[in-house]
Amino acid sequence: MKVLRFRIIFACILLYFLYVWVSMTGLGFVDILNLRHAGHLLGVLGTVFLFMQFVLSARIKKLEAGFGLDKMLNEHRFYGRIGLIMVMLHFILIATYQWTEHGRIFFNITILFGIMALLGITITAAIASTYNKFGIAYEVWKNIHLLNYIFFPLALVHVFLRAQPGTLLFYLWLVLAVGFLTLIVYRLYRIFQMRNNPFKVVEVIQEADDIWSLFFTGEKINYKPGQFMLIQLMRNGKRSSSHPFTISSSPTRERVSITPKELGDFTATIKDTKVGDLAFIDAPYGVFSFLNYETDELVFIAGGIGITPFMSMLRYIFDKQLKNKVTLFWANKNESNLCFRNELDEMQKEMDNLTVVLVMSGQEDWPGEQGRINGELLQKYLPDLENKDFFVCGPPPMSRAVRAELEKMKIPSHKIHYEVFEL
């Protein structure tokens, strides 16, 4: 709902701008259907949408706190795609107008800047949409994606050269240019802060066959249980790209930790991290925490390594001796994937308000629940669905399937909380 409200407000701002633009240019609404005017309008709107994708990906703390970084990055993709389509149509309509009216397409330095910007942004967008399919490494994709910080200024040069000083469009581009420069300064400042306040790896623990916990000490991070960090590791003199990981520790404890599973190029090397290695941490991010909601009964539904935010929350509840009634459903393929099992067993012994339901999908001799987490299983342990908040974290397909089951069970959408990253 927050994202929908954001889109509505943004749409209203654009409509108001359209009204002012039409009024000041003396064009009627019918006139803007003309190829040339329609092309110019799409160029204006497309540039504004492209600017918005930088705002949404800049990790501005105050803005992120209201939405959650996962949803902001999804919006970043939405605005980027819409903006790119509009700018493409702008080019097509203007070129078509020039060809039909003058018999040729004009090229000059102004148009050249626009074409370079369009080609660059199109290529980076194509790579961003397909890098998983072609096996492009995350680090390579991310570095290519950063080229948009060069291509968008080319677009601003293009529109500035087209605008007349003193006009509405000129001041709009001036605002966007100042805003873009501010975003760059903000991001550089955040990087400077991280580099000047490194954390140190103080312990590396193998939690399961392919799951490892890294523990860090450094400047105190004020985070809520369930939030995540962006981390770069400095190993053997090389600094990794930034990667998001849920914080598996609790704010009640001195050391901060993450618990990655070996799933990709970067996480496959987590076990090679050594005590004494440095880490650059940007945190906290995310709104996936029970502390953000007023509820006494919590249902945690985890798939695989999606247990990490729930371990942070459970550790917090345990340390604070909170009375929230908690039911944890945790789906895995087999027992070898069960990290934190001993700690969960100890928590169950100490906490009368905690119930843990382990579900195995690929172990026939498992004495407990088997298969997948569905509505039937949930209702078996939750006969009363009233006054409960449901938190879901796991692989995207699992998360979508569980949320669909909850919707079938008539759980209100404001009672279903989730965080999904599909980078």
| Contact present, 294 and 388 (Cβ < 8 Å) | no
Give dist(CA 420, CA 423) in Å, integer. 10
Residue 422: what pLDDT? 55
Task: Give the pLDDT confidence of 339-364 residue by residue, as tens digits.
Answer: 999 999 999 999 999 999 999 998 88
* Whether 198 contacts 216, CB under 8 Å: no
pLDDT higher than threshold 70 for residue 9: no
| pLDDT per residue as tens digits for the range 87-128 | 999 999 889 888 888 878 878 898 999 999 999 999 998 888
| Residue 384: C-alpha distances to residues 129, 186, 251, 325 (Å) | 43, 48, 31, 13
130-151 pLDDT tens trace = 777 777 777 777 888 889 999 9
As a whole number of Å, the end-to-end CA separation of the chain is: 23
Nearest to 144, CA basis, from 120, 115, 112: 120
* Helix (H), strand (E), coil (C) string for 39-83: HHHHHHHHHHHHHHHHHHHCCCHHHHHHHCHHHHHHHHHHHHHHH
User: pLDDT tens, 161-188?
Assistant: 988 888 778 888 999 999 999 999 999 9
Average pLDDT over residues 293-312: 94
* Whether 114 contacts 158, CB under 8 Å: yes
Confidence of residue 421 (pLDDT cuts 50, 70, 90): low
395, 304 in Cβ contact below 8 A? yes
What the chain holds in terms of domains, given with CATH numbers, is 2-194 (1.20.120), 199-285 (2.40.30.10), 296-418 (3.40.50.80)
Q: State the SS3 of 255-300.
A: CEEECCECCCCCHHHHHHCCCCCEEEEEEEECCCCHHHCCCCEEEE
Amino acid (one-letter) located at 4: L
User: Using 50, 70 and 90 to split pLDDT, how confident is the model at 24?
Assistant: low
Return the pLDDT at 326. Answer: 97
pTM summary value: 0.85
Asked if residue 219 has pLDDT above 50, the reply is: yes
What pLDDT sits at residue 35?
75
CA-based Rg of the chain, rounded to a whole angstrom?
Answer: 25
pLDDT confidence bin for 27, thresholds 50/70/90: low
> Residue 240 — left, alpha, or beta (φ > 0 → left; ψ -120 to 50 → alpha)?
beta
In terms of Cβ atoms closer than 10 Å to its own Cβ (0-12, 13-18, 19+), residue 33 is exposed
248-263 average pLDDT score: 94
**What is the predicted pLDDT for the residue at 267?**
84
